[in-house]
A = this chain, B = another copy of it.
Amino acid sequence: MKIINLDHISANPLLPEVRQAMIEAINTDFGNPSSQHRLGELAAEAIENARRSVARLVNAKAEREIVFTSGGTESVNHAIKGVAWANGDKGNHIITSNIEHNAVIRSLKRLAGQNYRMTSVSVDRNGRVDPAEVEKAITDQTILISIMHSNNETGTIQPVEEIAAIARRHRILFHCDAVDSVGVVPVDVQSLGVDLLSFASNPFYGPTGVGGLYIRRGVRIWPLLDGGIQEHNKRAGTENLIGIIGMGTAAQLARKDLERRMAHTRRLRDLFLAELPKYVDEYIINTNLHHCLPHMVSVSIKYIEGESVVLMLDDENFAVSTRSACATGSLRASHVLLSLGLEHADAQGTLVIAFGVDNAEEEVTAFLKALGKVVSTLRDISPLYKKMAGRNSA
């Protein structure tokens, strides 16, 4: 039985053209891109072609501003720790928000053990950072501001352009974690005005384990990986050639196809939202629908546990998630949802539904039916629901 993937924030399938490019790479005898003979030249050329496609996707001025990494997490670690270490003589204060990905939060926590200080600004009930709050947090020790582009649990998009402008006015470096946005919505490093931008290949249907970091020319940063002189001396280590070739192909396709993909997944998401009241009542939409990724929505269904919903939907062959895959295994309620002001119990009943290019309208309808069934089964056995239902009908 085919599993219908509605968890396109955790894992996207590879596009057929990406598979093809990677299989061709596997079947080509590439050498080491840094070696001195022709075997190596072919490999170096393949990497530079991929870099060009990625640079165009984010509108970098120069291709060498793109560093290939092992994924979004490495990009974020590199950006935050690399800037902190390289600019420790200027100051030790970093500003971030309460709803960042764990890669940002834990990189900053790590730096806190090395005498760096953090200010984390909160978000409003609509899930957005107030740029004025960021500006207020600036001190003469501030060396970096790191705010995400879109949130990985709600899809809400942040006012990055305004915050970047503030950072620039104060001559502070600005990093944007755009892992869930690049290749999904238009992201342009020039118009955003960011100094560093982290992204990964899988959100735009490339392979996992490969990503990129945009580093604007002139930014003072240390490498995270020291060693050889690969990636213009910014990231040592023999390149993941096959992954990079896959990412390059995916970037090329994303740039060409972005509008069509956005329209397709937005239609599915809007269908879901329009039809949802017919199948489930008493839920909260956590996504800010005025500023969000087109393909995803976070919904907290009252009186039930999201984990149970996920498992029961799995039995019905639908893959959804309760939160980002990176946080799976942690039992605590999502820091993102609590930051929105959600009650603990409601946060526990949250589903993240993320549509992809491989989904069709009839899958949305089938999913809604399954979801309605699962929710009423779970509520039938929920003491809390009975109590609340009793109160409502009283």
Residue A366 at the chain B interface, CB threshold 8 Å = no
CA distance A27 to B13 in the complex (A): 10
A242 contact from B70, B73, B209, Cβ within 8 A? B209
Name which of A116-124, A159-167, A224-232 contacts chain B. A224-232
How many Å lie between the Cα of A238 and that of B311 in the bound state? 22
Identify the stretch in A189-197, A265-273, A284-292, A319-327 within 8 Å (CB) of chain B at 4 or more residues: A319-327
Q: Contacts A227-B102, A307-B36; is A73 near B208 (CB within 8 Å)?
A: no
User: Does A372 belong to the interface (CB within 8 Å)?
Assistant: no
Q: Of residues A70, A101, A307, which shows the largest number of chain B Cβ atoms within 10 Å of its Cβ?
A: A70
Contact call A209/B241, Cβ cutoff below 8 A: yes
Closest to A108 in B: B226
Residue-wise, chain A 210-229 has the 8 Å CB interface mask toward B (1 for contact) of 10000000000010111111
Q: Chain B residues near A222: list those with CB within 8 A.
A: 110
- Contacting residue for A106 out of B26, B200, B208, B227, CB 8 A: B227
Contact call A32/B325, Cβ cutoff below 8 A: yes
A207 touching B242 by the CB < 8 A rule? yes
- Inter-chain contact A226/B106, CB cutoff 8 Å: yes
Q: Within 8 Å CB of A70, what residues of B?
A: 69-70, 74, 209, 225, 237, 240
Whether A19 and B11, one on each chain, are in contact in the complex, defined by CB atoms closer than 8 angstroms, is: no
Cβ A325 vs Cβ B238 within 8 A:
yes
Our pick among B39, B107, B226 for the contact of A77 (Cβ within 8 Å) is B226
- Which of B19, B37, B243, B326 lies in contact with A209, CB distance below 8 A? B243
Which of B11, B101, B210, B244 is the one whose CB lies under 8 Å from A32? B11
Which of the 9-residue segments A2-10, A125-133, A138-146 touches chain B? A2-10
Q: Which residues from chain B contact A378 at a C-beta distance below 8 Å? A: none
Query: How far is the CB of A273 from the nearest CB of chain B, in Å?
Result: 22
Looking at the assembled complex, report how far the CB atom of A150 sits from the nearest CB atom of chain B, in whole angstroms. 17
Distance A264 CA – B314 CA, assembled complex (angstroms) = 51
For the complex, give the distance between the alpha carbons of A38 and B324 in Å. 16
Q: Does A377 contact B (CB under 8 A)?
A: no
**Which A316-354 residues sit within 8 Å CB-CB of chain B?**
319-322, 324-330
Chain B: minimal CB distance from A220 (Å): 13
When C-beta atoms are compared, the residue in chain B nearest to A36 turns out to be B310
User: A22 CA to B326 CA in the complex, in Å?
Assistant: 24
Chain A residues in contact with chain B, CB under 8 A? 3, 5, 7, 10-11, 13-14, 19, 22-23, 26-27, 29-32, 34-40, 43, 69-74, 76-77, 85, 101-104, 106-107, 109-110, 113-114, 200, 202, 207-210, 222, 224-230, 236-244, 307, 310-311, 313-314, 319-322, 324-330
Given contacts A70-B240, A200-B238, could you give 16 more A-B pairs where the C-beta distance is less than 8 Å? A5-B31, A5-B39, A10-B32, A11-B30, A35-B321, A37-B319, A40-B325, A102-B228, A103-B227, A107-B227, A110-B226, A207-B242, A208-B239, A209-B209, A209-B210, A238-B325
> What 3 A-B pairs have minimum CB-CB distances, sorted nearest first?
A209-B240, A228-B326, A103-B227
